[in-house]
Chains A and B, each alone.
Chain A
Amino acid sequence: SQTIHQWPATLVQPVGSPLSLECTVEGTSNPNLYWYRQAAGRGLQLLFYSVGIGQISSEVPQNLSASRPQDRQFILSSKKLLLSDSGFYLCAWSAGTAPRSEPQHFGDGTRLSIL
């Protein structure tokens, strides 16, 4: 069966520090991968998605970047964190070659607090 792992579960970082959040998927190949941010009282916002190694699409201009160095690894990064980067970050995957009615499967998220 497929599983998705995200870490760390919680993170407290000072303003201006770098960030690296990692997500890995097991039990599937060539998944579509996604990074979302969920702010309190707001719907999930898609930050990045990837359909293959090295292929990254950015949905909103921001202080963050994403990379996909391996088929089942997705990394969210920042060189200098801002207060506004605080939030709940979720990684998700969906079947790469399936019709668009395939569900997206989410990890358990990283709670990021910027001080």
Chain B
Amino acid sequence: KNQVEQSPQSLIILEGKNCTLQCNYTVSPFSNLRWYKQDTGRGPVSLTIMTFSENTKSNGRYTATLDADTKQSSLHITASQLSDSASYICVVSPNYGGATNKLIFGTGTLLAVQP
């Protein structure tokens, strides 16, 4: 069964600190891996998309890494801000063929940044 598992389930850090969120997946073969940020009560917003051949992708203070051999990805947040408090969701796009994206979502890591 294709799965995407994230850890930790929740995390509390102090403003200004760095943190790293983990994603392990069993989806194979896959087309790309994505990280989304979802604020409470809002829809997810795309942070990064990496194809299976990419190792890292940055978006401002967010840096995602991908190790396709070990099927692991991480999202590193640098110099956290209060506005980073959200759920971070790891999403894998299986390579089923065809043009339509069918995505497999993790359950997310809930990050709380405290002053």
Residues of A within 8 A of B (CB): 6, 32, 41-46, 49, 51, 57, 59, 90, 92, 94, 97, 100-109, 111
Residues of B within 8 A of A (CB): 4, 31-32, 34, 41-46, 49, 51, 89, 93, 99-108
- Which of B4, B46, B103 has the most C-beta atoms of chain A within 10 angstroms of its own C-beta? B103
Question: How many A-B pairs with Cβ below 8 Å?
Answer: 60
Docked Cα-Cα span, A50 to B52, in Å, equals 26
Whether A106 pairs with B43 at a CB distance below 8 angstroms is yes
Docked Cα-Cα span, A80 to B93, in Å, equals 33
Known: A43-B4, A92-B43, A111-B41. A104 touches B103 (CB 8 A): yes
Q: Of B34, B42, B107, which is within 8 A of A109 by CB?
A: B42
User: In the complex, what residues of A have CB within 8 A of residue B105's CB?
Assistant: 43-45
User: In the complex, what residues of A have CB within 8 A of residue B41's CB?
Assistant: 108-109, 111
Known: A94-B101, A100-B31, A103-B34. A43 touches B46 (CB 8 A): no
Docked Cα-Cα span, A59 to B101, in Å, equals 12
Q: A44-B103, A46-B102, A108-B41 are in contact. List 13 more A-B contacts (CB 8 A).
A: A6-B43, A43-B4, A43-B89, A43-B106, A44-B89, A51-B100, A90-B43, A100-B31, A100-B93, A101-B49, A104-B46, A108-B43, A109-B43
**Chain A min CB distance to B15 (Å):** 26
Known: A92-B43, A100-B93, A101-B32. A43 touches B108 (CB 8 A): yes
